[in-house]
Structure 1
Amino acid sequence: MIQPEPQSIGLSSLLNNIESGRIKIPQFQREYVWEKKAASQLLDSIAKGFPIGTFILWETQEELRSVRNIGNHLLPDTPVGHIAQYVLDGQQRITSLYTCFKGLSINKNGKMEDFSDIYLDLEAEEDGEIVTIDYEMGKPTRYIKIYDLLYGKISTLAKIYTEEGLEKIDFYKARFTSYQFSSVVLKNAPLEVATEVFTRLNVGGKTLTLFEIMVAKTYDQEKKFDLAEKFDLLMDDIGEDYKTISSSTILQTISLILKKDCTRKQILKLDKVSFIEIWEPATLAVKKAIDYFKNQYGIPVSKILPYDALLAPFSYFFFYHPDRPLDRKKEYLQDFFWRVALSERYSSGVETKLGQDVKKIEKILDYQLPSYDYEVNISADKIIEQGWFSTGRSFIKALLCLFASKGPKSFADNTKVHIDNAWLQIATSKNYHHFFPKAYLKGKEDEYYINHILNITIVDDFLNKRVIRAKAPSIYMSDFKRNNTELSKTMESHLIDLNNFGIWDNDYDTFFNKRAELISKELNSKLILKNKKPIADS
């Protein structure tokens, strides 16, 4: 059972517990953001005996990634034989107390801020500002630094302050040292409960991500495993082309490999030792899956991948099948990819569906064609119906993957169009060219049919901006034809038949319908439909 236990702790014990490593600040806490004025007001409340709120601490034997440095003071690991208490609520207050009472400086945005410059005003009235950052030069006997108040030698202080001043110093020192700080210690709580408590306590503040929790949970100093650093290295290895892949997808992949389940609850339950051991082979499988997307499916960048989550089942496949698949496995994988992408399967309930799809991947690993409880409509009519161009939709991204897989060539000279993540972030990118320019069609067609995936090609930015603009297709294509003797082949790379799509007559209806039919045919070749037989093993 979870037992929240109210406790009180004196200043000396609180500071000792922080300094010795028994009270720790988990890495998922936000940065220290308080200004020195806020810290002085906290100390002012203590000097007056006011309550300053309750600290919520989580007592656990789990070793979490924690903040190692407060101010300019490096904190040690939790002593052997002691249980750590992680701060779930009260981090700003605890950090302020420790920093002020130890007279430390804090680096905030590259600027050192000295928290030892907080003073007690010995002449202040009880209802006035007793603790302050406003020090009046020329009145050294009126103020004393908080650090000196607590730790200054009497012999030294007696040389500066009057007898009345020394009495006030003793009075306020007793106020600080006898103050009892209220805390609630959460014992016997699993990580998922502790982080849920943290999230609820921080409503309106920072939302704690699953990745941040797992960074804390899987940290192992002895094994030099830091998930945050490992993820950054993985992204560097993957490179810019697939750098938009999310950290949650990597966590889902590892959980699928370990448990065939990737719900948040399951990920939080993953054993730290198993997680660390599986990291290298699992992320190698991720890189192999990315290479497969690039080389087999012609998807050069992650921005047009219908779902990041598609990487998880493919990584699962390559974890158990390190080599490039041939024969039926290759065909079954292709069928799986396009079914998920075109059906918009991962648009909801993705964690549950990934758990289901792992079973399909296992069938593929065993040379079996999975059964699907849903059909995919790839008819020309369906493409027309679902084709409003928005790069946030998986169906549209699937068709962009199809376009990219054809290796689109430049209209100008038949060289390959470079596709970059930075280009493809928004639908208004200049690299998405409306083959019949929007300005040309305005007033002639409904906006839905103008801004449609069937009217989109992927071109060079320079070409779109400066050459095509709002010209009729027959005009700008005639210009390209004079310089590009392979223009017909160029247009084939865009799934456009130069001579049979009504281009020379500026016939948009013909172009629109013919391209829908050709794209439908291409998609049909990638799926294993009921009337098609899978290929035999090679």
Structure 2
Amino acid sequence: MATQRYSVTPHPIETLLTWVKSGEIAIPEIQRPFVWDATKVRNLLDSLYNGYPVGYLIAWRNPTVRLKDGTTSSGKRILIDGQQRVTALMAALLGQEVIDKDYRTRRIRIAFNPLEQKFEVTNPAIQKDATWIADIAEVFSPEVGLIGVMDDYLARNPEADRKEISGILQRLWQITNNHVGVIELAEHLDIETVTEIFIRVNSTGAQLSQADFVMSKIAADERNGGNQLRKAIDYFCHLAVSPEAMPRIEKNDTEFVKSEYFQKMRWLSNVNDDLYDPSYTDMLRVAFTSEFGRGKLQDLVALLSGRNFETRDYEEEIAEASFERLKKGVFNFMSKTHFDRLTMILRSAGFVTSNLIRSKNAVNSAYIIYLRGRAEKMDAAELERLVRRWYVMSVLRGRYSGNAESSFDYDIRQIEMHGLAKYANAVIQSELSDDYWSALLPQQFNSSASTTPSFVAFKAAQAKLGDLGFLSRDITVRDLLLNRSDVHHVFPKNYLKGRGFTAARYNQVANFVIAQSEINISIGDKSPDVYFSELADQCSGGSQRYGGIADIDEMRANLETNCVPASVLNGSIPDYDDFLEERRTMMAEKIHLYFKSL
């Protein structure tokens, strides 16, 4: 017989709101801040008033935990789906404030017109109109209540029929008697099963990540300071993107401002660096993996619940210890010293702008490697070199592009077993073998996607090696990447289009060079044999058409730096496909040279 995985029970809205107020149901605020606009709140109330279904709520009961004194504590319900709806009801019916996307605390006031039986978002015109009840929260308020609202309304609208208005307001007041189905998931279910049930039940098919469940678990555990920890993660990620939000947080969340978490992130108020803007998933991934030596976030949910993996029981001591370890991992992540050092290492590898950061998981892995190296007290210079090489290897090989979580878990367990330097260097040597440099990497340039990892690494290599831009005498690729540059087609795009080439052919990354805009514009659609001939003439006293290089040796050096065969200056313009083949090999050789310099 199959094990029952859930139960479905209808509950009055009033009961649900009571549970939330008492803490029986924990709203983990996965989607915090409140993301609904006021019109959605209005529509929800209109549906309830007219008896329309408003969907199910999904709750997942925490496991029963054995306390230190030997007694057990039955876990509270965590609201997995329906947070926005419940928060909207709390705001509109009970008058509770919400925090909006700008981290401002505000009221959502919904008005009701008994004569038209219509809901609207309160506005100044409605507030002046006697036919409207400007804030329905008054109906549900113990201080005012249904009778008080009705008497006030009839005083303002003496022509209204008392019996009719009384019946309509009674119907409004009884909204809280409407039932909503609560799907309660069994406490023994793992994250994968909970996720599958959520997707099957949720009409939108929205995905919940394992990080969402971790955030639920953290926020629901008030005993271990989970709400403050969840806020720390949320605020840090928000401030990393929008440091200008700092004054609003200081004004609106004075309790959090007093916490040790806030002091650890104050440095973000003066930061305008977008090289690495972590999400809460990134932050949890790095903090957990580096601190716990595990890579699967479902294990973190279990540990924060107090799971003893040997006895399969849930124990308070394990939950407490796990929260402390996670807190330490979060502090390490938020450290200005650590965060700055990571971004410095990435820049020192040539990844000088966020446009070159194509894989957040590769950055996360680099941060994990860095934090582990710090924990192992590795020499600073040796650690920086290892992080650079690991990151570039991860980018080139797409190490975290598939099942990233399994890769994280495998890597960190091997690091735990063999030590960081020994394992990481062995992986780098294996992944970037001689065969990779000579055979596989050139083939990776057979792509028309400018974001392909090999071309991104090529641009980073040019930035790291101090290469000059294509045909530039003084401007480096690094300068161009940091300011403004064009991706120039060596064989111009329109030139190739005119000869019947498709986009997949003329946009091959091996046809791309980084150039100043004015040089790109000057070349335009000219055929390669024309403009390379003019470049040769430019170095023999002719007019300066493209850039400022007038010396033939300097011109050859520039072409070779940009992996363009210098033979083109002699009129030896290869067939387009032969050119691509030769340039792919040259670009791979440059990246190999670059990697050795790391």
Task: Report the TM-score, using the length of structure 2 for normalisation.
Answer: 0.64
Q: 1:115 to 1:395 in 2, by over 3 A?
A: same
Letter in 1 for 2:571: D
Matched, 1:281 2:281: no
- Post-superposition shift, 1:511? 5.7
Q: Which moved more, 1:17-26 or 1:163-172?
A: 163-172
- Post-superposition shift, 1:222? 4.9
Deviations for 1:213-271, whole angstroms, at most 9, x for unmatched residues?
44444343456842111123445657545146665444333332134332343354464
Alpha-carbon distance in 1 for matches of 2:274, 2:55: 49
Alpha-carbon distance in 1 for matches of 2:302, 2:9: 29
In structure 2, the partner of 1:67 is: none
Alpha-carbon distance in 2 for matches of 1:287, 1:513: 40
Alpha-carbon distance in 2 for matches of 1:94, 1:252: 29
Task: Provide the secondary structure at the position in 2 that maps to 1:403.
Answer: helix
In structure 2, the partner of 1:218 is: 218
Whether the 8 Å CA contact 2:150–2:166 is kept in 1: the answer is no
Letter in 1 for 2:330: W
- Post-superposition shift, 1:319? 1.4
In structure 2, the partner of 1:437 is: 492
Task: Provide the secondary structure at the position in 2 that maps to 1:370.
Answer: helix
Letter in 2 for 1:349: N
Letter in 2 for 1:42: L
- Post-superposition shift, 1:54? 5.1
Alpha-carbon distance in 2 for matches of 1:269, 1:105: 33
In structure 1, the partner of 2:233 is: 227
Alpha-carbon distance in 1 for matches of 2:199, 2:113: 32
Q: 1:373 to 1:389 in 2, by over 3 A?
A: same
Alpha-carbon distance in 2 for matches of 1:57, 1:226: 24
Letter in 1 for 2:45: A
Aligned counterpart in structure 2 of residue 309 of structure 1, from 361, 380, 398: 361
Letter in 1 for 2:344: D
Letter in 2 for 1:281: N
In structure 1, the partner of 2:562 is: 494
Alpha-carbon distance in 2 for matches of 1:59, 1:101: 26
Alpha-carbon distance in 1 for matches of 2:584, 2:131: 85
Matched, 1:115 2:167: no
- Post-superposition shift, 1:383? 1.5
Task: Provide the secondary structure at the position in 1 that maps to 2:35.
Answer: coil
Letter in 2 for 1:438: K
Whether the 8 Å CA contact 1:105–1:114 is kept in 2: the answer is no
Whether the 8 Å CA contact 1:388–1:452 is kept in 2: the answer is yes
In structure 2, the partner of 1:519 is: 587
Whether the 8 Å CA contact 2:29–2:216 is kept in 1: the answer is yes
Alpha-carbon distance in 1 for matches of 2:297, 2:108: 39
Alpha-carbon distance in 1 for matches of 2:277, 2:491: 31
Deviations for 1:474-495, whole angstroms, at most 9, x for unmatched residues?
3257334755665455445424
In structure 1, the partner of 2:296 is: 263
Q: How many residues align?
A: 486
Structure 2 counterparts to residues 21-170 of structure 1, below 5 A: 21-29=23-31, 31-32=35-36, 34=40, 36-45=42-51, 55-60=57-62, 84-91=76-83, 94-95=86-87, 97-99=89-91, 101-102=93-94, 114-119=109-114, 131-133=117-119, 148=139, 151-153=146-148, 156=151, 164=163, 168=167
Q: Which moved more, 1:189-198 or 1:255-264?
A: 189-198
Letter in 2 for 1:370: A
Whether the 8 Å CA contact 1:55–1:183 is kept in 2: the answer is yes
Q: 1:333 to 1:525 in 2, by over 3 A?
A: farther
Task: Provide the secondary structure at the position in 2 that maps to 1:356.
Answer: helix
Whether the 8 Å CA contact 2:146–2:173 is kept in 1: the answer is no
Q: 1:501 to 1:83 in 2, by over 3 A?
A: same
Matched, 1:291 2:344: yes
Q: Which moved more, 1:387-396 or 1:436-445?
A: 436-445
- Post-superposition shift, 1:370? 1.0
CA RMSD across the alignment: 5.0
Whether the 8 Å CA contact 1:501–1:514 is kept in 2: the answer is no
- Post-superposition shift, 1:453? 2.9
Task: Provide the secondary structure at the position in 1 that maps to 2:567.
Answer: coil
Alpha-carbon distance in 1 for matches of 2:352, 2:92: 53
Whether the 8 Å CA contact 1:22–1:84 is kept in 2: the answer is yes
Deviations for 1:439-489, whole angstroms, at most 9, x for unmatched residues?
34556696666433333211233432x323223233257334755665455
| Contiguous gaps of at least 5 residues in structure 2 | 65-72, 121-125, 220-225, 244-267, 305-322, 539-543
Alpha-carbon distance in 2 for matches of 1:155, 1:525: 81
Structure 2 counterparts to residues 121-520 of structure 1, below 5 A: 131-133=117-119, 148=139, 151-153=146-148, 156=151, 164=163, 168=167, 172=171, 182-186=181-185, 188=187, 192=191, 197-204=197-204, 206-219=206-219, 220-222=226-228, 225-234=231-240, 239-240=272-273, 242-243=275-276, 248-269=281-302, 271=304, 272-284=323-335, 285=338, 287-295=340-348, 297-305=349-357, 307-322=359-374, 326=381, 336-358=390-412, 359=414, 363=419, 365-366=421-422, 369-370=425-426, 375=433, 376-379=435-438, 383=442, 386-410=445-469, 411-417=471-477, 418-420=479-481, 431-442=486-497, 450-464=506-520, 466-471=521-526, 472-476=531-535, 478=538, 479=544, 480=546, 486-496=554-564, 500-505=566-571, 507-509=573-575, 512=580, 515-520=583-588
- Post-superposition shift, 1:211? 4.3
Deviations for 1:70-100, whole angstroms, at most 9, x for unmatched residues?
xxxxxxxxxxx99754444455654565455
**Whose helix proportion is higher, 1 or 2?**
2
**% identity of equivalent residues:** 15
Alpha-carbon distance in 2 for matches of 1:495, 1:288: 32
- Post-superposition shift, 1:43? 1.8
Q: 1:419 to 1:260 in 2, by over 3 A?
A: farther
Q: 1:390 to 1:181 in 2, by over 3 A?
A: closer
Letter in 1 for 2:147: G
Alpha-carbon distance in 2 for matches of 1:109, 1:279: 23
Task: Provide the secondary structure at the position in 1 that maps to 2:513.
Answer: strand
Alpha-carbon distance in 2 for matches of 1:54, 1:312: 36
Whether the 8 Å CA contact 1:8–1:183 is kept in 2: the answer is yes
Letter in 1 for 2:586: L
- Post-superposition shift, 1:313? 3.4
Deviations for 1:149-197, whole angstroms, at most 9, x for unmatched residues?
9521499489768785588479758966766665444463678365654
- Post-superposition shift, 1:432? 1.2
Task: Provide the secondary structure at the position in 2 that maps to 1:207.
Answer: coil
Alpha-carbon distance in 1 for matches of 2:228, 2:297: 27
Task: Provide the secondary structure at the position in 1 that maps to 2:448.
Answer: coil
Q: 1:452 to 1:21 in 2, by over 3 A?
A: same
Task: Report the TM-score, using the length of structure 1 for normalisation.
Answer: 0.70
Deviations for 1:291-317, whole angstroms, at most 9, x for unmatched residues?
22221x222124334633222333233
| Contiguous gaps of at least 5 residues in structure 1 | 63-80, 122-128, 424-429, 529-533
In structure 1, the partner of 2:248 is: none
- Post-superposition shift, 1:278? 1.1
Deviations for 1:356-415, whole angstroms, at most 9, x for unmatched residues?
344369655249841666654322796157422312322333333333333332434412
Q: 1:395 to 1:481 in 2, by over 3 A?
A: closer
Whether the 8 Å CA contact 1:389–1:396 is kept in 2: the answer is no
